[in-house]
């Protein structure tokens, strides 16, 4: 193959770190449809905070990394990587429109002999049965004759500065044995943790979609245990600590399951199963359990308030944390909104404090207000939703009235000050 020139399509939480890494070894262009995003990146700042400004500027200044919205600037690439979101719609059905759009983009610029590798999470068959026909349509080229494909599932953990992209083993695959070897070699040249070459694109797709489905099911199990132990009157964390003394006990904890992976991927797997005539029971049962936890937390908080004789109507509730996970600004598919919506039905005043979340993005996506400033008005109840490290030394008692309720979703606070926790 001629000199590898890489284009990464989609410069979000997945695409940007990967593109930055590729740029240390290959001529690399990042492509995104959002002009504001491209402008910020070329200005040397990543608003997702996944790539440090120092690393980003080093890639731009010393490795020739550039970002663009211009198709002409990616036309001379020969190794295209698609890293766009794969969400679900309001009915939890896979929404492949971003993938189709990216495939159209590839189709407009791909040339004979080029390779397109998909990283977006999908169910087995999407790459070759759904995406490749779009590339063929817009390119006029024939798959596995004129151009080739691969699949290498994204393995990015937002907010994690220890397990960065180059330190997580990468699964690779290709549409022919020869292409699989090329794809694997390209990734292996930058991934320090090494690679695993899957036997086919469908196997690689399946491997990705079951990773997070497995986590989802295990978290659903401990969420159900939390509901049971709460009725019994014992602390779930105490039970898990005791059980964890056995060497093969899996250390999952209860909580809200949101974000763009664990809370979404099981629906892709379920859709695939249904397409093949199988109704997945465990996968969807886990989703139902985890999707119910926001309302459960809200109801448990109100229950604690009533037990303490605190007037619920027109009370002031403080929610601590809104992002889908700790120490990152990502609010996509956050389940904190489920707590908010459940509480809002009771005619309460709700303040959401999160030092990480962007208030403008939250307002646009969810229609509610979030503050980055420490609230001054004392609340009747506080709910710790996200275990941001910035909350570690937070004096929660200073944020609530003398007669109050504190509910801890993450078992993060001093247990002596909380009235309930998962």
- Under 8 Å between Cβ of 155 and 192: no
Would residue 261 show up in a list of annotated catalytic residues for this protein? yes
Distance CA 406, CA 382 (A): 5
> CB within 8 A of 102, min separation 6: which ones?
9, 10, 82, 84, 120
- Euclidean distance between the first and final Cα of the chain, in Å? 54
Distance CA 421, CA 260 (A): 25
- Under 8 Å between Cβ of 40 and 70: no
Q: State how far Cα 339 lies from the chain centre.
A: 19
112's tokens: 């004979």
Sheet holding 6-9, edge to edge: 66-68, 28-31, 6-9, 79-82, 115-118, 148-151
> CB within 8 A of 306, min separation 6: which ones?
312
Q: Residue 8 gets which letter from DSSP?
A: E
Selected catalytic residue, list 77, 131, 261, 304: 261
Distance CA 380, CA 417 (A): 14
164's tokens: 């960065």
Distance CA 335, CA 291 (A): 8
> CB within 8 A of 158, min separation 6: which ones?
13, 48, 50, 259, 325, 328, 330
Q: Catalytic positions, please?
A: 261
């Amino acid at each position: 193959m001629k000199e590898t020139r890489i284009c990464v399509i989609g410069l979000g939480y997945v695409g940007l770190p990967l593109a930055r890494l590729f740029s240390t070894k290959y001529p690399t262009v990042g492509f995104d449809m959002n002009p504001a995003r491209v402008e910020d990146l070329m200005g040397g700042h990543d608003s997702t905070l996944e790539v440090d400004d120092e690393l980003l500027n080093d890639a731009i200044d010393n490795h020739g990394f550039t970002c663009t919205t211009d198709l002409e600037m990616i036309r001379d690439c020969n190794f295209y990587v698609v890293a766009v979101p794969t969400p679900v719609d309001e009915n939890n059905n896979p929404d492949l429109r971003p993938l189709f759009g990216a495939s159209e983009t590839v189709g407009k610029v791909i040339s004979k002999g080029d390779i397109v590798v998909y990283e977006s999470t999908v169910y087995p068959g999407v790459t070759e049965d759904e995406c490749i026909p779009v590339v063929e349509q817009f390119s006029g080229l024939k798959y596995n004759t004129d151009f080739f494909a691969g699949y290498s599932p994204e393995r990015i953990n937002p907010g994690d500065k220890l397990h960065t992209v180059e330190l997580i083993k990468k699964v690779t695959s290709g549409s022919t044995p020869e292409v699989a070897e090329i794809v694997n070699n390209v990734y292996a040249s930058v991934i320090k943790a090494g690679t695993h070459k899957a036997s086919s694109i469908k196997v690689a797709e399946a491997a990705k979609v079951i990773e997070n489905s497995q986590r989802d099911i295990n978290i659903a199990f401990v969420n159900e245990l939390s509901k049971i132990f709460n009725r019994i009157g014992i602390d779930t964390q105490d039970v898990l600590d005791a059980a964890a003394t056995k060497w093969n006990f899996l250390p999952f904890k209860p909580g809200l399951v949101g974000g763009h992976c664990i809370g979404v991927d099981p629906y892709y797997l379920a859709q695939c199963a249904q397409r093949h005539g199988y109704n997945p029971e465990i996968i969807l049962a886990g989703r139902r359990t985890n999707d119910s936890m926001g309302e459960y937390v809200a109801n448990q908080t109100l229950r604690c308030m009533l037990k303490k004789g605190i007037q619920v109507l027109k009370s002031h509730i403080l929610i601590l944390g809104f992002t889908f996970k700790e120490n990152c600004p990502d609010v996509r598919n956050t389940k904190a909104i489920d707590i908010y919506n459940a509480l809002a039905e009771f005619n309460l005043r709700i303040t959401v404090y999160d030092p990480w979340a962007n208030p403008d993005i939250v307002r646009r996506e969810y229609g509610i207000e979030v503050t980055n400033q420490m609230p001054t008005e004392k609340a009747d109840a506080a709910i710790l939703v996200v275990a941001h490290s910035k909350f570690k030394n937070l004096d929660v008692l200073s944020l609530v009235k003398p007669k109050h309720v504190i509910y801890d979703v993450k078992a993060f606070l001093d247990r002596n000050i909380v009235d309930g926790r998962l």
